[in-house]
């Protein structure tokens, strides 16, 4: 025969459990609120820059450029309009055409999408900084030899992208070149010759006719 359960059997344990659960939830919520508040306080404590011009130092082609720029000025504008380095071109201004490509270190970037103030501390290379003592690089010479340009507006961007590729992969194949230049666009349609120029600069065999035709 079972012993009768007390009237409050289980009630106390359930009540205690629910109370404990509520305490844990409240504690977690409070901790989260404090964490968010701390992040906001940290963000508010950071120095606000602008909107007026501020000192910006860029290292371009091995030389330091000290400029006064509004924080909203892009790297492309800083190069073209404040430094007279017009090799990088303004095409789409939307990170589509690649005409504004420069190198940050060995990485090709769209200078139209990079704020100049963000590029401080980076080694910036433009197409003007490639040739040394008026001697063209292998990439530049290959573009001339293969007649890999028409109007020439997009050429600096392609040259920079191919230069970055060969730094990373000295012996690329046709697909490697296409991938590296996927962010560059030639409105004149000189892509086949650009492909041949890139491979010539790398010293590899010329792309097959099919590979050249496919690169349009």
pLDDT at 163 over 70: yes
- Predicted local confidence at residue 107, as pLDDT: 98
- Predicted local confidence at residue 213, as pLDDT: 58
pTM of the model: 0.76
Give the other-Cβ count within 10 Å of 73's Cβ. Answer: 18
Q: Tell me the C-alpha distance between 143 and 130, whole Å.
A: 14
pLDDT at 67 over 90: yes
The structural domains of the chain, with segments of one domain joined by +, span 50-129, 130-216
CA 79 to each of CA 57, 110, 184, 187, 190: distance values in angstroms, whole numbers, following the listed order: 12, 12, 19, 24, 26
Which tokens hold the place of 88?
Answer: 């990088």
- Predicted local confidence at residue 54, as pLDDT: 96
CATH code reported for the domain at 50-129: 3.10.20.30
91-138 confidence digits (pLDDT tens): 999 999 999 999 999 999 999 999 999 999 999 999 999 999 989 999
CA 186 to each of CA 43, 80, 85: distance values in angstroms, whole numbers, following the listed order: 43, 21, 21
2-39 confidence digits (pLDDT tens): 555 555 555 556 666 666 666 666 666 666 767 777 77
- Predicted local confidence at residue 24, as pLDDT: 62
Which tokens hold the place of 47?
Answer: 């120095």
- Predicted local confidence at residue 36, as pLDDT: 72
Q: Tell me the C-alpha distance between 173 and 182, whole Å.
A: 14
CA 179 to each of CA 25, 165, 173: distance values in angstroms, whole numbers, following the listed order: 51, 9, 10
Residue among 210, 215, 176 at smallest CA distance from 192: 215
Higher pLDDT: 78 or 42? It is 78
- Predicted local confidence at residue 34, as pLDDT: 74
User: Edge-to-edge strands of the sheet including 101-104?
Assistant: 63-69, 54-60, 123-125, 101-104, 107-110
- Computed over every residue of the chain, the mean pLDDT equals 88
Which residues in 100-215 belong to E strands, given as ranges? 101-104, 107-110, 123-125
Please check whether the domain covering 130-216 is classified as CATH 1.10.150.120. Answer: yes
């Amino acid at each position: 025969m079972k012993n009768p359960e007390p009237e409050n059997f289980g009630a106390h344990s359930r009540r205690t459990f629910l109370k404990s659960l509520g305490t844990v939830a409240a504690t977690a919520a409070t901790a989260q609120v404090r964490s968010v508040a701390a992040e906001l306080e940290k963000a508010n404590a950071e120095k606000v820059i602008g909107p007026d011009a501020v000192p910006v130092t860029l290292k371009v082609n091995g030389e330091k450029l000290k400029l006064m720029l509004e924080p909203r000025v892009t790297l492309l504008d800083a190069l073209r309009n404040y430094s007279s380095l017009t090799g990088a071109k303004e095409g789409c201004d939307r990170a589509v055409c690649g005409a504004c490509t420069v190198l940050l270190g060995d990485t090709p970037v769209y200078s139209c999408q990079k704020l100049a103030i963000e590029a401080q501390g980076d080694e910036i290379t433009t197409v003007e900084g490639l040739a040394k003592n008026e001697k063209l690089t292998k990439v530049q010479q290959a573009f001339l030899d293969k007649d890999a340009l028409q109007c020439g507006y997009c050429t600096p961007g392609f040259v920079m992208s191919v230069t970055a590729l060969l730094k990373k992969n000295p012996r690329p194949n046709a697909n490697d070149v296409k991938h590296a230049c996927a962010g560059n666009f030639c409105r004149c349609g000189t892509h086949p010759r650009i492909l041949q120029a890139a491979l010539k600069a790398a010293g590899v065999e010329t792309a097959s006719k099919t590979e050249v035709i496919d690169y349009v």
